[in-house]
């Protein structure tokens, strides 16, 4: 896969949202490559681009890739912390095999700053033996393994108030038997980033560029629990049409009640016939008491909101553009695409 954004919803579920009208907003690029078919979708500044390629068109895809990415959007590039991008993004692969460092501590907890000192940035870092790594600062390692009672704890309590962003950067993060990874960021001003590098790290089960768990049959001692700031709803529908040139809209639900806030990025689906038209993305500049949302720029297109009531008044149909909140304070992302030959 090319670099991707995995957005974490408030209820802790991992969402790619593979829905026709929503996919264009949620992902920088989606590539399904099973040696038979490849699909790529991208959106940036309201412009939606998609292409599909067969196996015989691999060279066409590679040739078009830069153009597709130029039209795409990814949250880590647009809003990610600059020190993460400078220290982790698209770096050369490590030439020498990494050493393995089993982290040690005189107590049952150890801070990420202390782990950085023990592991450096070129070693496979192992957290085990009832030791808890508390994320109080950003951490870059070649790869990270949590196992045998080891634990990563990343919460509002471990995240200092004076830091807007904390990130974890590794070639893979593997939670093995007996390990746990708990990330819960409810504070809207705190942002957690997990960035998977294409640095050559290779796990025997998860392979390269991975974040996940590894267990055996019947093993219940592996846990990954990730939760971002709570939102009662991540999407709504236009309550009134949004017309070209307007920078205000209303949705069916109260924005503040849904957990939306100023600065959030939202996207609006097209409503033209036969799935034509253009979707758009905006930032929320203001939320009025009556629920009116003021956008950072004017709309370039019309988006409909219509209600249809049956002649006997027993049924109603509402056809309206979806409005999706795309902002998350927990984001899993990674390095850019690397072409790997797929043996037919």
Q: Pairing mode, if any, of strands 143-146 and 99-102? A: unpaired
Q: Which pLDDT score is estimated for 38? A: 38
Q: Which pLDDT score is estimated for 20? A: 27
Q: In whole angstroms, what is the distance from residue 214 CA to residue 144 CA?
A: 13
Q: Which pLDDT score is estimated for 342? A: 62
Q: In whole angstroms, what is the distance from residue 282 CA to residue 299 CA?
A: 9
- The pTM (predicted TM-score) of the whole model is 0.80
Q: In whole angstroms, what is the distance from residue 268 CA to residue 291 CA?
A: 17
Q: Which pLDDT score is estimated for 343? A: 57
On whether the CB atoms of residues 221 and 288 are closer than 8 A, the answer is: no
Q: Would you state the structure tokens that stand for residue 308, as one six-digit string?
A: 């249809």
Q: Sign of the CA dihedral 134, 135, 137, 142?
A: positive
Which ranges of the chain have pLDDT less than 70?
1-52, 220, 339, 341-344
CB atoms < 10 A from the CB of 220, how many? Answer: 7
Q: In whole angstroms, what is the distance from residue 202 CA to residue 310 CA?
A: 60
Q: Which pLDDT score is estimated for 215? A: 79
């Amino acid at each position: 896969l090319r670099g991707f954004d995995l957005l974490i919803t408030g209820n802790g579920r991992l969402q790619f949202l593979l829905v026709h009208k929503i996919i264009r907003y949620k992902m920088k690029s989606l590539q399904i490559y099973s040696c038979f078919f490849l699909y790529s979708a991208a959106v940036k500044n309201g412009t939606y681009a998609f292409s599909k390629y067969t196996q015989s068109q691999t060279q066409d895809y590679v040739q078009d890739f830069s153009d597709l990415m130029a039209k795409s959007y990814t949250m880590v590039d647009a809003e990610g912390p600059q020190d993460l991008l400078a220290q982790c993004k698209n770096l050369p692969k490590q030439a020498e095999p990494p050493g393995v460092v089993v982290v040690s501590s005189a107590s049952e907890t150890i801070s990420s700053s202390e782990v950085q000192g023990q592991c450096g940035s070129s070693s496979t870092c192992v957290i085990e033996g009832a030791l808890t790594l508390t994320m109080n600062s950003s951490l870059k390692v070649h790869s990270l393994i949590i196992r045998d009672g080891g634990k990563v704890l990343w919460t509002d309590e471990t995240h200092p108030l004076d830091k807007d962003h904390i990130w974890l950067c590794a070639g893979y993060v593997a939670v093995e038997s007996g390990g746990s990874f708990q990330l819960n960021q409810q504070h809207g001003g705190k942002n957690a980033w997990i960035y998977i590098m294409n640095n050559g790290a290779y796990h025997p089960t998860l392979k390269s560029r991975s974040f996940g768990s590894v267990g055996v049959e019947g093993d219940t001692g592996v846990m990954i629990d990730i939760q971002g700031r709570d939102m009662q709803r991540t999407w709504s529908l236009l309550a009134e049409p949004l017309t070209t040139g307007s920078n205000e809209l209303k949705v069916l639900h109260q924005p503040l009640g849904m957990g939306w806030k100023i600065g959030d990025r939202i996207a609006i689906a097209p409503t033209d016939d036969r799935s034509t038209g253009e979707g758009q993305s905006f930032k929320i500049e203001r939320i009025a008491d009556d629920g009116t949302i003021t956008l950072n720029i004017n709309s370039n297109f019309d988006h409909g909101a219509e209600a249809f009531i049956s002649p006997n008044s027993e049924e109603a149909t509402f056809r309206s553009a979806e409005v999706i909140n795309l902002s998350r304070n927990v984001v899993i992302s990674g390095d850019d695409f690397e072409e790997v030959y797929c043996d037919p």
